[in-house]
Structures are given as structure tokens and as C-alpha cells.
A and B are shown apart, each in its own frame.
Chain A
Amino acid sequence: MNKSDFKRIGDNIWEIPPDFKPGMRVPARMLSSPELFKHIDDKVIDQTTNVACLPGIKKYAFCMPDGHVGYGFPIGGVAAFSASDGIISPGGIGFDINCGMRLLRTNLTFKEVKPKMEELLDRLFSTIPSGVGSKGFMKLNREDFNSVMERGAEWCLEKGYATETDLIHIENGGRIDNARHQTVSEKSISRGINQMGTLGSGNHYLEVEIAAPENIYNKEIALQYGIDRDYQVLIAIHCGSRGFGHQIATDYLQVFGKCAKKYGLDVRDRELMSAPINSDEGKKYFSAMACAANAAFVNRQLIVFGTRKVFRSVFNKSDEELGIETIYDVAHNIAKFEKYTVDGKEETLLVHRKGATRSFGPGRSELPPKYRSVGQPVIVGGSMETGSALLCGTKIADEETFGSSLHGAGRTMSRIKAKRTTRGDTVKQRMKESGILVKTGYMPGLAEEAAFAYKNIDAVVEAVDALGISKKVARFYPILNIKG
């Protein structure tokens, strides 16, 4: 199986029909520019066509332009399943449940930040825990953590770690419903309870970025999102549910492995194990996933709390003067119940987004009031050398891709190969020469995260813009980055 098995049916759309592989129920669709398509790994195609075999799948199994090999679903995989007779699969959500991005705007400009860059870097690195064994700066008791699991960012508001404006600008208000703490194991709680407010490691980071005027592609929408001055300073945070979510995924993969026979589910890939959404196991996993998703919203919010504290201290300004506000917070490893029209009939589907971002267009009631006229912010993280992109959701995404778009640049190279190609200190020096300061607890990790290990973020963004599923709003370039 390889790329030549796909038929190009649109400028940036390739399709394999369902009769291609035994068991396929719908076509597989790769969304990609011709140039990106040439470099897609055959394993990604195999994974996407495996997803097309899952029971209850509707319309297509998608892979976004940043698609690359994952566990079960490809990363960049999107699939929607009938809520009445479809399945739920941890492989379609990921180990890092609700890994996502938070983007914040500030009233600061580069001119104000430049003289304090070293101090800001050191203070952020010492305040926001990262790396192996890192613990959050606050101790949560079990009652707190139950509340974190079930109420998500609302718990942060109650405790003074969030503003109301923060919550309005997080997907689902920072709380996924039907999260019951009884559906998660004691093991997962033990792994996660001390990790709230920590970044993790690998490709997780906190980055300070600049919005230069020449990189604002849609001034009107950028303004609506809060980007309102030249060389504005922004903050991007990329992390997820930490050990808590990872353990939940591990636990339920094993539960689903044991019940596959009971439900007559063919397991061609153990990472694609699933259960009927309406089964006891399926309902419990959704609830546990929701608990992890809520914890991830809390995790990012606590990092925001710590970040605001650092900025107040470094710049000797109040919160009001700094204006550090959430533009939006997106989940890119999650499953959500959403309504879509399939064959002329509106249905509730469980949309799995694995390394994919929701991309709701204008008019959606789920969006914050000030974004309803323009569409949802879609925050796309690139590598630490290349910064991020901000797009807006569209009606085309609502109609064509279950309201979904890409999430990042996508890896093109394994971590081992990246470390064999360069050294962390070389990357750090190169970044410094480009005006980017980086601090990490694990220097070889910088080699793993070098720009050449990722697809070109501008190429993947152009691909979704051309497809119309998200439209370019702005491009941001990093000046500071901290990672574990």
C-alpha cells in the first residue's frame, strides 16, 4: 500500500475508496498539498485506512496535512462515529489526552521585552516546572483533584487561578461534561495529582512570541482576537494532561483489549482497540477521558497563573497594565459529541481528533460571543525555531471535515535520527543567533526538537488555507522558549 493507491479528487484532497482494503467502511481522505503528499509515510496511509474500518464511522477517515505516524490513528487523524452504534477508541485520542495549545495576548511590545529577555527566560524556567519528575507548585488534596477532574477550569476560577474571561475563551469553557471521578483508576490519580501546573517534556513548551505587522494576514480578525499592536508580545503554551491522562489511556487500552471479543470487534492494530460508545466500558472511558481533558485545561490554566506572576514581577506592572489575556485554548487530542448532517440527516457523532484541532466557523453558538462573527481561533504550533500560526475556523470545516483542521507542523524524523544529525548546544547557539533564547533541563532534547525534524509549518498552513478548512490570520515568531 502506498501513495499511488490514492486518487486525487481535488487540489489538496486524495482519496482511497472503501473497496481498497478488506473491512473498510468509508473512504480514506488525505488532506495535503501535492508537495507534502509526496513525503507522506506509507504507514500513515495504512493507519488512516485502518481507521476507516472502525464500526459506526461516518463519511471519511481523514488525515490532516501535518499527518504523521501515531499509535492507532495517525497523528493528524480525524474520524466521527455514530453516537448510537459507533465506537470510541483511545487510539483516536492519544495517550496525552487534551494535549493542546493556549495562546495569550499581552499589552507588551518587543521593545519593552527585549531588555529583560534573559531575566524573563530564567524566571519562567524556574517558576514553571518541567521535565522528568517535575511537581506542580501547589499541593492538591484528593478533594481538590476530584473537583479538577469533574469541573476543570471552573475549579481554577473558584480558587483564584483563572479569570472569567479565561474560561470564556477555552474550548467548552474549560470543562467537558459527564466527567465522573469514579471512572478513573487510583493509579492514574496517583500519577497526576502532583503534576498540575507542569509542562512535561518532549515537544511541550512555553514560548514568548512576537506578532510583527508584516505577518498579520487578516487584520480585522486578528484585531477581533486581541492582536492590536505592532510587534505585540504573545505567549503560547503547549502541554496536556501529564501522567494522569497517560495512565487513563493505558488503563482503558487494556480494558478494551479484554472486551473486544465480547463486542465482536476485530483488532487489526492493538493501538486501535475500541468499545461501543454506549457500552459500559465505552461510557466509562468517555467519562475518564473527560476527567483527563478537564485536568489538562486546569494544567494549562495553572501555568498561565504562574506566567502572569512572573510577568508582574519582571516588568513591575499590574495584571491590568500587562493585559495578559487568553485569546483561546484548544484541545488537539480529544473526542467530543457534536452534531453534523450526514446523508441529509442531522446526527450526533463522536468526533475523534488525534493531533487535530477543532475549527468551527462563524455562527457557532459554542464560540465565545466576540468570536461568533469570525470563527474560532485555530492555534497551530510549529517547532521551537519557527514559532506558531493563528488561523480561524470556517463553515467549510463544519461541512467537510467534522469541524476539524490541523494542529501543528508534524514530525518528519524520529528523535533518535534528529539527535544523530545535530547536537542540542548547536541548536541552542543557532537559535540565539536568530534572536531566540531557549532554556531546557535536557540539552539533547533540543536536537530532538530542531526545526529540520518537523514539516514546514508554513506549508501545512497553506494547505489548510487552500482547502478552506481554516484561514490564515497571523504568524508569530519566537523570542523565548522553555521546555523540559
Chain B
Amino acid sequence: MGLTEIMVDLDGLEERKEISFELEDENLEGLFFNWLSEIIYYKDAECFLIKQCNVEISGDRNNRLKATLSGDIIDPERHALKADVKALTYYKYRIEKIGDNWQGEVVFDL
């Protein structure tokens, strides 16, 4: 949601469309990168902004993902649009496990 919130006020988003996809990479670090990049892709390719998501991670190395996203189609009349995100960068990119949770730091190119 942090990524979406860079681009639009979340309050105005409705759940009007659903998108599902699967991703795979060598490890969780690569998978997370692809996940965020995929959200940026849909923003441009289908003018889609995510409101809710259901994600399942699997695989020996936590390297597979199945996601169902629900969200809205960008509409300047209904949405308070903000900055456009060009890409996720590798600058300071990290994810690590802390206790039972995963924490990460990412930098987007605006």
C-alpha cells in the first residue's frame, strides 16, 4: 500500500477490478523486487492502482508468489493523484527477516 500511496490518496480508491498473476524468482529478495515492479507495470499498462491484495508465498526458498489484486482504474475525476513512480531501483534495496517478520527498504525513481 505504501507504493500506491505515493501515487494516489487511498481514500478515493474503490475495488472495481481484479487482477491475478503468479511470479517466480531465485529467492525472496528477487521475488519481492518483481512483485513491486509488477504493481508499477499495471499502473501504466492498465491504469490500475491496487487497493487490496491477497498474496501467497511458497517454494523452498520462498521464491514463488500467487497474487490477487483488487483495485481501481485511474480516474482524475475521482482520484487525488500524486507523484508518478517510474521504477523500483536497486539503490539501498534490502529485505531481511526480523523475528517472524520481514522488513525491507526500497527506493523508487519518481
* Residue ranges of A at the interface with B (Cβ–Cβ < 8 Å): 71, 95-96, 131-133, 135, 187, 190-192, 195, 200-202, 242-243, 246-247, 249-250, 253, 269-271, 415, 441-442, 444-445, 448, 484
Contact = CB atoms under 8 A, between A and B. Distances in A.
Contacts of B86: 95-96, 243, 246
B68 to A, nearest CB: 19
A195 B44 contact: yes
B17 to A, nearest CB: 13
A441 B45 contact: no
Contacts of A71: 89-91, 109
Contacts of B7: 132
A132 B89 contact: no
A92 to B, nearest CB: 14
B110 A484 contact: no
A253 B110 contact: no
B41 A187 contact: yes
B4 to A, nearest CB: 11
Nearest to B34: A254
A252 to B, nearest CB: 12
Contacts of A269: 90
Contacts of A445: 82-83
Which of A96, A191, A448 has its CB near the most chain B CB atoms (within 10 A)? Answer: A191
A453 to B, nearest CB: 13
A191 B7 CA distance: 16
Interface in B37-61: 37, 40-41, 43-45, 47, 49
Given A191-B41, A246-B109, A415-B110, A132 B90 contact: no
Contacts, number: 80
Nearest to B76: A441
A429 B98 CA distance: 47
A444 B82 contact: yes
Contact of A132 (B41, B45, B74, B91): B74
Nearest to B109: A95
17 contacts: A96-B86, A131-B76, A131-B81, A133-B43, A133-B47, A133-B49, A190-B45, A202-B110, A243-B45, A246-B40, A250-B87, A250-B88, A271-B89, A415-B83, A442-B81, A442-B82, A442-B83
Interface string B56-85: 000000000000000000101000011110
Given A95-B86, A243-B45, A243-B86, 15 more contacts: A71-B90, A96-B86, A131-B84, A132-B7, A132-B81, A132-B84, A133-B81, A192-B44, A195-B44, A201-B83, A246-B87, A247-B41, A270-B90, A270-B93, A484-B84
A441 B84 CA distance: 11
A187 B45 contact: yes
A191 B76 CA distance: 19
B74 A133 contact: yes
Contacts of A247: 41, 44, 87
B93 A202 contact: no
B8 interface: yes
A195 B74 CA distance: 14
A190 B73 CA distance: 16
A145 B47 CA distance: 19
Given A95-B109, A132-B82, A442-B83, A243 B44 contact: yes
Interface string B1-43: 0000001100000000000000000000000000001001101
A442 B84 CA distance: 10
A191 B41 CA distance: 6
Nearest to B48: A133
